[in-house]
Amino acid sequence: MVTYTLIAEEAPAAPAPPTGTGAGSPGPFGGDYGIFIMMGLIFAVFYFLLIRPQRKKEQARQRDREEMLKRLTKNDHVVTIGGLHGIVASVTDTDVVIKVDEKNDVRMRFAREAINRVVTDGDKGAGGLTLLGAGDEKR
């Protein structure tokens, strides 16, 4: 008869982690939360250098546009957002009637917000606004 004897050996001890780089110890960026701190700093830099100035410019453009629409009066030369050139015939709180053709008295009604810009004297000389009359069409 054969008898087997089981001899138990003690498991070797686990190596100790190097000092200063363990999971709980602070690393070069503040330990476990270092990545979040760095991401927060990067976001703050982007916000103050890119996002905030762009918002201020957009708000200034919006204020200028609202002011231009408030100052819109009869006989202003305007261009709509669709590119139509004309002269303001009448203005109400919500609508603007634009005269497109002098001789045929063609007028079109637009929402006030459809006015893109008011053409100034400097713009007229550089290929600006001239209204067509009967027989003036360019073919």
CB within 8 A of 115, min separation 6: which ones?
Answer: 68, 69, 72, 78, 79, 80, 81, 96
Q: What is the C-alpha radius of gyration for the chain, rounded to an integer number of angstroms?
A: 37
Task: Output the six-digit token pair for 19.
Answer: 């000092």
Asked if 95 contacts 111 with a C-beta cutoff of 8 angstroms, the reply is: yes
Whether 85 is in a domain gets the answer yes
How many folded domains does the chain comprise? 2
CA 62 from centre of chain: 12
Whether 12 is in a domain gets the answer no
Task: Please state the pTM of the whole predicted model.
Answer: 0.57
Whether 131 is in a domain gets the answer no
pLDDT tens-place string over residues 29-39? 556 788 999 99
Same domain, 55 and 85: no
Whether 133 is in a domain gets the answer no
Asked if 96 contacts 112 with a C-beta cutoff of 8 angstroms, the reply is: yes
Same domain, 63 and 43: yes
Same domain, 92 and 121: yes
Of 27, 44, 70, the residue that ends a domain is 70
pLDDT tens-place string over residues 88-106? 999 999 999 999 998 898 9
